[in-house]
Chains A and B, each alone.
Chain A
Amino acid sequence: MSVISKLREKPWLAHPAGMDPALQTTAQRWPQRTALLFMLAISTVLFFLFTITFLGRTQLPDFQALAGEPWQPLTRPGLLWLNTLWLLLSSVAMQLALWQSKRLRQKVSPWLALATLLLLLFLAGQWQLWQQLLAQGYALRTNPANSYFYLFTAVHGLHLLAGLLALAKVWWQRRAPVQFSRSLQLCTTYWHFLFVVWLLLFALLTSSADTYNTLAALCGF
């Protein structure tokens, strides 16, 4: 039943005895999944709002994009591509772990260990990039573009760390295979979500000033 038809129900009308459709069905319940969907919505809003303020901020005169011209640090972001690869592989490893667990095989843990390792590689890579930027004089406060770069990567990194915590908790409960597989499915969704968010952030943070101007114009700034 769609939402619209649910909202059009006339609850004051009596159903004939035993005919009440609501009494017949016991829908499959999966509260963790509902909660995850809301969490993804909240995270989306969070990143969306940061992005909107970022686009607004790009239009103010003191903003200097981090990419575009040859001398800017993120014009050829080799390290970022490498990090992206780690995160992609981490997502893939999670997916493989999920397939393994769905077939009730016991080879889940190695894949999860691999996914965790790749995720940590990504975070270490981001940390290294921070150090490089700092060494080149791109400190947090010297330009709003830098501030946003650190802010975005930090918020995204914290999301990943929270994911690792959740994964640890799920792994702890791996003795119940069906439950384990379902929980793992939610973790995998979260991993993929954060990978997509990262791709968008990557594109956003390494764009040139012209791209920002176009995007900002589209948003009405």
Chain B
Amino acid sequence: MSHIAVTDQPDESKHPHSFITRYIWSQDHKVIAIQYGITAIFVGLIALLLSALMRLQLGFPDTFSFIDPSAYLQFVTMHGMIMVIYLLTALLLGGFGNYLIPLMIGARDMVFPYLNMLSYWTYLLSVIVLLASFFVVGGPTGAGWTLYPPQAILPGTPGADGGIVLMLVSLAIFIVAFTMGGLNYVTTILQARTRGMTLMRMPLTIWGIFIATILGLLAFPALLVSAIMMLLDKVAGTSFFMPALLSLGEQLDYSGGSPILFQHLFWFFGHPEVYIVALPAFGMVSDVLATHARKNIFGYRMMVWAIVAIGGLSFVVWAHHMYVSGMNPYFGFFFATTTLIIAVPTALKVYNWVLTLWRGNIHLTTPMLFAIGFIFTFVHGGLTGLFLGNVVVDLPLSDTYFVVAHFHMVMGVSPIMVLFAAIYHWFPKVTGRFLHEGWGKFHFWATFLGTYAVYLPMHYLGFLGVPRRYFAMGGSDFIPESAQSLNAGITVSAIIVGVVQLIFIANLIWSLRKGKPAGSNPWQATTLEWQTEHTPPGHGNWGKTVPVVYRWAYDYSVPGVKADFIPQNVPNEQLQYTDEQLYRESQQ
């Protein structure tokens, strides 16, 4: 009796047949991935709409009567929380992690398919609870996505009654969902790889997802702890985080708690969260770049080590989000130093992406355009991070639009660029059809240039000292009139970028039926997911036999070999060599 799970057993009898077991209560990782993806994109569109409403107020103040200061703060909060957690984390790990892990490592499914299904439905529950907060009395919370106490749960902050409670409950449910999914991802990667798939033969996508999932499993507990304790402060009247304070002239029952404690907990989760989003993106962009440049990834081992190093370091930089909260100067020194150190492996990855392109046979397909666009936006956002990582530079820039510009470039636009690259790259595997190339290119240029039009001016606003999260500027002497026209320009660009995303959604729907048929390996890629018997892959992924891996994931343009790529499951004996190579061998 062995413990080898479905991964090694081609059990034909267990294929689900009814519509419900196939598409609703499905335990197939590919269906679960699509469920995750659709749900995440759906809430992402809501968050996009919220950002448009925010921008309308900022660009054209006093024009829209339905946006009052409370509503504005609620838009800010929900936009941030949805984008970071319910869209990016869910789409990168729940969506792409689910879809790609078993296919790329040669497994038939996740090792715990039932748990995987449970993970999605729990995630959906957390989304429903989150969206329910729009409909309770007082609306959703407006505490800012960081939910700092004491203001988050005090009257005066919008949604301090029902909204914040639903938000905290929803986060706790999300963490349960993520933990169930995450246990599956790491266990599958460690235990269900096919024969020959050593750790160092895994595509970088899998490395990124693997380390990001470990970060998530170890960092989300910090959010859970802070959510539980804040919920108790709100509902049961404990004083974990709540200091003794007066509210509306009355002494509250709270005493002696520490809001700073919450900030430490929150950012102990919050900073790894940046890399939970970034590492899968790093991995996927590496594979897209190598495939479309027909060249092996430059410095594969360094890339893996950098992912591992970034993962480790991401746990010791959290307090750089708290320079203005007040802390021991030595702490500030320590966290500034670690922040600069984490830039080293990150920069190394950027160099390696650029060197992968160097003298590559670059195909400017839509996924490749997005991948190259990512290098630009990521370098841009990363460099401003170096500014903010230094205490003395951070102090004047903190809580200005410079910070907004920085984190939107580095963890908003950049992972989204990779997500688009990944969707255009893997859509042919998921559906068997290409996305429309012309619309895709239009989508890329409008998004790429549009996001620059949105975020580049924000850096200048930040230098001027325009504070973030403000409903209106008021009459501040240090902010010139022209800042308002800049704001109006940003708003127009943002709305254009938002509308362009609808074209992308239309492209997704249209291509599902009408897209150009793609065949099984349209990009001539080496990794295992492109070598499946059927496209889209059937239940169990591999037909009768699971593939055996003979090489690493990046055998592109190997000298002497006829084809410019060698799939991972092709042994040396089956290679076809060029005449030149055969002649050279016969001479030896």
**Residues of A with Cβ closer than 8 Å to B?**
6-12, 14, 17, 20, 22-23, 26, 29-32, 34-35, 38-39, 41-42, 45-46, 49-50, 53, 56-57, 60-63, 140-141, 144, 147, 151, 176, 178-179, 182
Contact = CB atoms under 8 A, between A and B. Distances in A.
A7 B111 contact: no
A35 B179 CA distance: 11
Contacts of A182: 3
B258 A11 contact: no
Nearest to A49: B225
B581 interface: no
A45 B221 contact: yes
Nearest to A27: B191
Interface stretch (B166-174, B194-202, B492-500): B194-202
A11 B74 CA distance: 50
Contact of A6 (B184, B198, B236, B300): B198
B218 A42 contact: yes
Given A17-B573, A20-B550, A57-B258, A30 B3 contact: yes
Interface in B179-206: 179, 183-184, 186-188, 190-192, 195-201
A155 to B, nearest CB: 8
B248 interface: no
Contacts of B296: 12
B81 interface: no
Contacts of A6: 198-200
Contact of A144 (B256, B308, B548): B256
A102 to B, nearest CB: 14
A144 B256 CA distance: 9
Given A9-B200, A144-B240, A35 B187 contact: yes
B222 A57 contact: no
A7 B200 contact: yes
Contacts of B253: 141
B221 to A, nearest CB: 4
A31 B261 contact: no
Contact of B217 (A12, A29, A42, A178): A42
B396 interface: no
A4 B223 CA distance: 31
A46 B224 contact: yes
28 contacts: A7-B301, A7-B304, A7-B308, A10-B301, A11-B198, A14-B572, A17-B571, A17-B572, A30-B3, A34-B187, A35-B111, A35-B183, A38-B187, A41-B218, A42-B218, A42-B221, A45-B221, A49-B265, A49-B268, A53-B229, A57-B257, A60-B257, A62-B244, A62-B255, A140-B237, A141-B237, A147-B232, A151-B228
A179 B5 contact: no
A31 B192 contact: yes
B304 to A, nearest CB: 7
B111 A53 contact: no
Contacts of B111: 31, 35
B261 A34 contact: no
A60 B238 contact: no
Contact of A31 (B5, B221, B236, B237): B5
B191 A34 contact: yes
A46 B256 contact: no
Contacts of A32: 3
Contacts of B192: 29, 31
B207 to A, nearest CB: 10
A39 to B, nearest CB: 7
B463 to A, nearest CB: 35
Given A11-B198, A11-B200, A57-B261, A147 B240 contact: yes
Interface string B516-552: 0000000000000000000000000000000011111
B572 to A, nearest CB: 6
Interface string B243-272: 010000000010111100100010010000
B253 to A, nearest CB: 7
B353 interface: no
Given A41-B218, A144-B257, A53 B240 contact: yes
A22 B198 contact: yes
Contacts of B60: none
Nearest to A20: B196
Contacts of A12: 296, 300, 552, 554-555
A7 B253 CA distance: 55
B491 interface: no
Interface in B450-504: none
Contacts of B228: 151
A144 B238 contact: yes
A57 B221 CA distance: 19
Given A22-B196, A60-B257, A62-B239, A31 B3 contact: yes
A31 B258 contact: no
B20 interface: no
A70 B496 CA distance: 70
Q: Which 8 A-B pairs have the closest CB atoms?
A: A62-B256, A11-B552, A31-B111, A9-B200, A147-B238, A31-B191, A141-B237, A46-B221
B201 A63 contact: no
Contacts of A20: 196, 550
A169 B571 CA distance: 44
Contacts of A178: 1
Interface in B532-588: 548-552, 554-555, 571-573
A31 B112 contact: yes
A7 B222 CA distance: 29
A45 B112 contact: no
Given A20-B196, A23-B195, A45-B221, 16 more contacts: A9-B198, A10-B200, A10-B301, A26-B195, A31-B5, A31-B187, A32-B3, A34-B187, A38-B183, A45-B222, A46-B224, A53-B261, A57-B261, A61-B256, A140-B236, A151-B228
B236 A11 contact: no
A140 B253 CA distance: 13
A2 B287 CA distance: 27
Contact of A147 (B190, B199, B239): B239
Contacts of A50: 225
Nearest to B296: A12
Contacts of A8: 301
Given A7-B199, A179-B1, A53 B256 contact: no
B242 to A, nearest CB: 10
B316 to A, nearest CB: 14
B559 to A, nearest CB: 12
Interface string B300-316: 11001100100000000
Contacts of B2: 29
A175 to B, nearest CB: 11
Contact of A49 (B201, B221, B550): B221
B256 to A, nearest CB: 3
